[in-house]
Amino acid sequence: MEDKKPRTERRQSVEMDLMQEQALSPQEQAILDAKLPRYTVADPTQAETLALLGKLLPHLQPNPVIAPDPPTPRFSELLEGAQTKPYEATVWSRMLGWLGVHVSTPHRVMGASILLLCLIIGWAEPSLASSLPGGERLSWLPFLLPLFTGVTLSFSLRSLGTPMLELERSLPISPAYRLMSRAIAIVSTCALAALAASTLLVLWTAPYGLLSLMLSWLSPLLLYCAGTVWLMLRFGPVSGSLSMALLWVTQPFLLEALGVFYFIGDPVMTGWLTSKLIALGFVCILIGDIVRMLRKLNLSYATRTRRSA
């Protein structure tokens, strides 16, 4: 940063310019003195100066022969290049690359853990149902899977409402895109893991059809994740995550009272399909509101974090 003279000296010299017939008021001078030095600009690095020197030295020659810079490929050209690849390979490689970028190692470990957990639960469900009070009424997979996914989701969105989000704003992608990418990546990973587990369970124990089993856990999972993100955006990461977890855990105790709003039921329960459809309806509403809130994120979080700073 260039800062050749002390601020007071600089201020005096500027004041001297104006002191004859025109002068700024003390308040005006004070605010200029306080704010203008904030506009700092980074000095060039040694490497940048050397690079510039390297480009300029040929101009000292009597008849300079200056090699042109290699042309930078335009974005459209890169896009065209990508589109010339085989369609399937591009889609799969893009998907894998996207998951590789957005899903960090802890999330991959969590996905594998969920897969393992699903298998253990599927194997142990009959014994759990008989040994725990009320266990026969509870479907363990749709109950626990969202909770574990929610932990990962809360961890990945922990910057919400903190000054760290402001720093993330300086990244080339928007915070809304970043947050939604993370959330989608995590939920997709967990859903894929649970899908694999469900397939194995159907092949292994065949309690219900694969479609029924998938709908049984997929709609609670989506509802839990959408609810968590919605509450996090409303009340902050910690309060939002804990509120949703609390709401979820109280469900089994309110089975009779909830009726079709009991979202973790088995296909054998009455109103099972209705409850799943209601859950999916809630998911749509929550996602719509999340998108609306994320669009307003730039202003609302700037204000909130500035107040805390």
Burial class (CB in 10 A: 0-12, 13-18, 19+), 194: buried
Options 82, 101, 132, 164; binder of another protein; rule CB under 8 A: 164
What is d(CA 242, CA 145) in angstroms, rounded to the nearest whole number? 16
Residue 59 lies near another protein (rule: CB under 8 A): yes
User: C-alpha 128: how far from its chain's center?
Assistant: 35
For residues 153 and 188, is the Cβ–Cβ distance under 8 A? no
Stretch that binds another protein, among 56-64, 100-108, 219-227, 280-288 (CB under 8 A): 56-64
Least gap, CB of 188 to another protein (angstroms): 31
With 0-12 CB in 10 A as exposed, 13-18 as middle and 19+ as buried, what is 138? buried
Tokens at residue 221, please?
A: 């999972």
Q: Closest separation between CB of residue 68 and another protein, Å? A: 14
The site that binds another protein (CB under 8 A) totals a number of residues, namely 47
279, two tokens: 């859950």
Q: How far is the CB of 124 from another protein (least distance, A)?
A: 45
SS3 content of the chain, % helix, strand, coil (to 5): 75, 0, 25
The token duo for 16 is: 């001297």
Task: Give yes or no for residue 158 binding another protein (CB under 8 A).
Answer: no
| Position 173 contacts another protein (CB under 8 A) | no
* Single residue of 85, 234, 295, 306 touching another protein by CB under 8 A: 306
Query: How many CB atoms neighbour CB 195 within 10 A?
Result: 17
**Shortest distance, CB of residue 77 to another protein, whole angstroms?**
19
**Is 76 one of the binding residues for another protein (CB under 8 A)?**
no
243 binds another protein (CB under 8 A): no
At 65, is the secondary structure helix, strand, or coil?
coil
CB 305 within 8 A of CB 161: yes
Q: Does residue 167 bind another protein (CB under 8 A)?
A: yes
Task: Name the one range near another protein by CB under 8 A: 38-46, 191-199, 210-218, 261-269.
Answer: 38-46
Q: Which of 6, 8, 22, 133 binds another protein (CB under 8 A)?
A: 22
Dist. CA 309–CA 293, nearest whole Å: 22
Q: Which residues bind another protein (CB under 8 A)?
A: 1-2, 4-5, 10, 13-14, 17-18, 22, 24, 27-29, 31-32, 35-36, 38-44, 48-49, 52-53, 55-57, 59-62, 163-164, 166-167, 170, 303, 305-309
